[in-house]
Chain A
Amino acid sequence: MSNTLKELKRDVVPSGFQEQYIKAFKWMLLARTVEDKIVSLWRAGKIAGGVYIGRGQEAISVALGMRIRPGDIYGPLIRDQAGRFAAGEDVLEVLRVYLGSRLGVMRGRDGNVHRGRPREGRYAMISHLGALISVVAGGLLARRLKGDNSAIGATAIGDGGTSTGAFHEAMNLAAVEKLPLVVLVVNNQYAYSTPNSRQFGCRDLVDRAIGYGIDGYSVDATDLKESMEVVNHAVERARSGRGPQMVVGTCLRLSGHAGHDDASYMDRALLQSDVGRDCLDLAEAYLRDQQWADIASIEQWKEDARAEIEEAVIKVQREPPVSPEKEDWCAFATRRFLDSTPAA
């Protein structure tokens, strides 16, 4: 483990950082606003399935998402709306998938957080946690075999997901192959209703990095500045060929596991403690502290975010819905394999 945080002086702000910080804040804000909207749409019965939001971890997510360059591979998970926006997703695309528009990128075949655009390097997750990491690793392996070493792969997972065999195998394989993979492990204290004490036996998830033989960092994920600094650092190391990087961010899940979960099992004390601070509020405070933005501008940004989302919702709700008649019911890319006789 190398908590290279020691190398960074917290009061040194690199040039361009203010601009980056503001951008990050706006993405966080957009993520928070759209997710609030998604939850209310879900409660109104307008969204099918489960809704998973990243309330409380927008900072760490955006810190990684904003470092994605064209050509990089990004595999976001269920609480990465902020990262997705930073990596180029737009509001219409998000809402189209959630609201079942025929123009949605998944065509109704999968939905909600399972969306992606693999050809553009935005891999689409499945529900089995840990399974996406080896896919991102494989994408990087392919790039290398093609002689292209310019890309990094970035993905995120929660404290619970690190218990899976898939996570272990993927991390180990990435380490053996020395791939430029940055894995964000967000420990938001709960995996559904399971607290850390029932999830892992090691002292701290970052210690796993030692086991894999890779670099590992801890960061206070409630702090946007720290998150940006540490993630930047990890990404740079990956780009410079130092192999896989694991960044473990600590925060608190400020919602239930999903829309259908009231999280009554969560320890109220955590909410009152430092780990339970809202990264968006902290970032807003920091902006005002640093005088990089005043209350009026921030309120305007909030209003802009709300308006953008309202407009998008209205537009998407006017679009035709996914329809079974339009479905070709063919799971094969090779069309001639399509079963012409329905199963007896």
Chain B
Amino acid sequence: MSITYLEAIREAQAKALRNDPRVYIYGQDIAAFGGAFKATKNLAHEFPGRVLDSPISEDAMVGSAIGAAIEGMRPIVEMQFADFSSLAVNQIVNQAATHFWRTGVPCSITIRLPSGGNPGTGPCHSQNLESLYAHFPGLVVMTPGTVEDAYFMLLEAIDLDDPVIFCEHKFLYNRLKTESLPRSGLPTGRARVARAGRDVSIVAYSAMVQEALAAAEELRLKGIEAEVVDLRSVKPLDYDTILASVARTGRLLCVGESWPWGGVNAEVIARVAGHGFHLLDAPPFRINARDTPVPYHPSLWQAHKPTTALIVSHVRQLLEW
């Protein structure tokens, strides 16, 4: 029996609904319809009154979740696409993220963002916004890259008192599978060494972890052993694990699917340059998506984001530096 990344997300929500009466889910088309991607399939039936269809009002969806959290609930807000969360940016970054800081009352909401694209989804259904939200103080930003993390981290997100932006990657929904769901996992804030190596540290997250692992396999055939670090959450970032990896390899390549200016890759590199300068044999490199909106046509889309081949070529340049 295998479980997909999407099913793991559904399972986690079911478990949370089952075990914690404070949990409910609010989103568009999530009740009887089960959600645009079926992330809440059957949940409205199994947990009547806890899985609610909202109007197309991202601002009010998040605002109401904030109020519910103040009253002790643990709402999950499903954005139909990460791209639509921009309608709720004010509520997310100015109310939810700041509530604990301003008032001492934590805002325990989880906002699920179906992120990343598939061929043909285009500029408004393909965005990766982790870098945007990570920028604002007070938000936890999770970017699970495995089925196990999709499950375990969503459960932890719901459990955390802080507001969590849960960036689940649509490309992984049905493509990643695992045999069984974990009972335990690393706590949020800890990165995972997905593959040990000695020649280069590839720091990646979300869908890019799979690309990095594929690249590492290709590199292995060329005698290059790449270490792959899966960040799991981009806020908080596990600087210790990253620095320890760079200490082992002396070379860093950051791979992320969001846009180049600023963002997760830039943050990791700034930290390593500041705190780990003495560990570096070569300047740190990064690969981002191109600095344009995500294209619609599949062949352009394919060329817009970082790929296995690009990772391999960057590693080779890094080693030849």
Residues from chain A with a CB closer than 8 A to the CB of B66 are: 134-135, 138
Pick out which of these stretches binds chain A: B89-97, B197-205, B257-265, B300-308.
Answer: B89-97
When distances are taken between beta carbons in the complex, the residues of chain A under 8 Å from B189 are 336-337
| Contact status of A118 and B270, CB under 8 A, knowing A135-B64, A169-B59, A172-B60 | no
> Is B196 in the interface zone, CB < 8 Å from A?
no
Complex CA distance for A343 and B239, rounded to whole angstroms? 11
Interface assignment of A156: CB less than 8 Å from any CB of chain B: no
State which of B37-45, B102-110, B175-183, B207-215 sits at the interface with chain A. Answer: B102-110
Q: Give the complex CA separation of A139 and B273 in angstroms.
A: 45
Complex CA gap A145/B24 in Å reads 9
Asked if A65 lies at the interface with its beta carbon under 8 angstroms from chain B, I say no
Complex Cα distance A119/B104, Å?
Answer: 9
Q: How far is the CB of A118 from chain B (nearest CB, A)?
A: 4
- A67, CB-defined interface residue at 8 Å: no
Chain A residue nearest to B53 in the complex (CB): A176
Count class of interface residues, chain A: 35 or more
Looking at the complex, which one of B69, B102, B104, B274 makes contact with A114 (CB distance below 8 Å)? B102
Q: Is the CB of A142 within 8 A of B236?
A: no
CB distance from A227 to the nearest CB of B (A): 26
Q: Which residue of A lies closest to B24 (CB)?
A: A145
Question: Are A131 and B59 also in contact (CB < 8 A) when A109-B101, A110-B102 are?
Answer: yes
Q: Is B63 positioned at the interface, with any CB of A under 8 Å from its CB?
A: yes
- In the complex, B271 has a CB within 8 A of chain A: yes
Q: Which A-chain residue is minimally distant from B276 (CB atoms)?
A: A344
Contact partner of A166 among B50, B59, B105, CB < 8 A? B59
A170 and B100 in contact (CB under 8 A), knowing A134-B67, A176-B55, A331-B138?
Answer: no
Residue pair B102, A106 in contact (C-beta under 8 Å): yes
Whether the Cβ atoms of A173 and B91 lie closer than 8 Å is no
A126-B189 Cα distance, complex, nearest whole Å: 29
| B291 on the A face (CB < 8 A) | no
8 Å CB contacts to A: which residues of B128-183? 137-138, 140, 160-162
The chain B residues found within 8 Å of chain A, CB to CB, are 24, 49-50, 54-55, 57-73, 75, 90-91, 94-95, 97-106, 137-138, 140, 160-162, 188-189, 236, 239, 270-271, 273-275
List 12 A–B pairs whose Cβ atoms lie within 8 Å, in order of A's numbering: A106-B102, A110-B103, A114-B102, A124-B99, A126-B95, A128-B90, A134-B62, A134-B63, A138-B68, A141-B67, A170-B64, A337-B162
